[in-house]
């Protein structure tokens, strides 16, 4: 047995054992489908079309209200058509549409980046769309102005609800979604 060397900077007396070489880590293997094909292509198409549809709807709905002075009439206290609650609803609707438009554009970016943040945010926007339609109809109904559930509202509600009920579970259960949105 060799004596311990009092000099901590001296070379060792015993041979040095080399550590075994470690194999480089292989990327995690993912089973199943991946990529933006299959049903995700349909989601992608809807993502691209949705902000365009919303922009057209918003311009067709709110531009005439501004142009013909209707919005000013319901928002100005001196006007005989003054209705502060209705003015607030119109402004909140417009802001919700702008929010959905901007969020939709952001979702398109996340979709093509294959970001892991995409699926839950897609479902959140779908749920928000359903909730805002219901809230809008209830608010208008409480004012007693016309029928809050007109044909256009029912159509938009149905479309939003179907989107949520079909694509929501798909985003959380699909192997393709799990294998694609990993960045």
What's residue 20's pLDDT?
67
* Alpha carbon of residue 134 to chain centroid: 19
pLDDT at residue 84 in the model:
86
Give 44-49's long-range contacts (Cβ < 8 A, gap of 24+). Answer: 44/111, 44/112, 46/163, 47/104, 47/107, 47/108, 47/111, 47/122, 48/108
Residues of the chain with pLDDT under 50: 29
pLDDT at 71: 87
Other beta carbons less than 10 A from residue 69's beta carbon? 12
Tell me 69's DSSP state: S
pLDDT value at residue 2: 58
Nearest to 126 by CA among 156, 95, 93: 156
pTM for the whole structure: 0.76
Q: What is the pLDDT of residue 70?
A: 87
108 vs 104: CA distance, rounded Å = 6
User: What pLDDT, on a 0 to 100 scale, did the predictor assign at position 154?
Assistant: 94
With the C-alpha atoms ordered 66, 67, 73, 78, is the resulting torsion angle positive or negative?
positive
pLDDT value, residue 30: 55
């Amino acid at each position: 047995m060799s004596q311990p060397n009092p000099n901590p900077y001296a070379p060792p007396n015993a041979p040095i054992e080399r550590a075994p070489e470690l194999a480089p880590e292989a990327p995690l293997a993912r089973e199943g489908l991946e990529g933006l094909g299959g049903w995700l292509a349909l989601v992608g198409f809807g993502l691209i079309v949705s902000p365009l549809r919303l922009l057209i709807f918003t311009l067709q709905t709110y531009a005439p209200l501004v142009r013909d002075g209707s919005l000013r009439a319901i928002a100005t206290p001196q006007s005989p058509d003054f209705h502060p609650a209705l003015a607030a609803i119109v402004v909140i609707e417009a802001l919700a549409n702008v929010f959905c438009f901007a969020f939709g554009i952001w979702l398109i970016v996340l979709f093509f980046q294959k970001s892991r943040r995409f699926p839950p945010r897609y479902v959140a926007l779908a749920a928000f769309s359903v909730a805002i339609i219901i809230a809008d109809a209830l608010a208008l109904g409480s004012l007693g102005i016309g029928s809050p559930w007109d044909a256009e509202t029912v159509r938009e509600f149905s479309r939003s609800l179907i989107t949520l009920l079909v694509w929501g579970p798909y985003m959380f259960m699909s192997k393709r979604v799990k294998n694609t949105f990993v960045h």
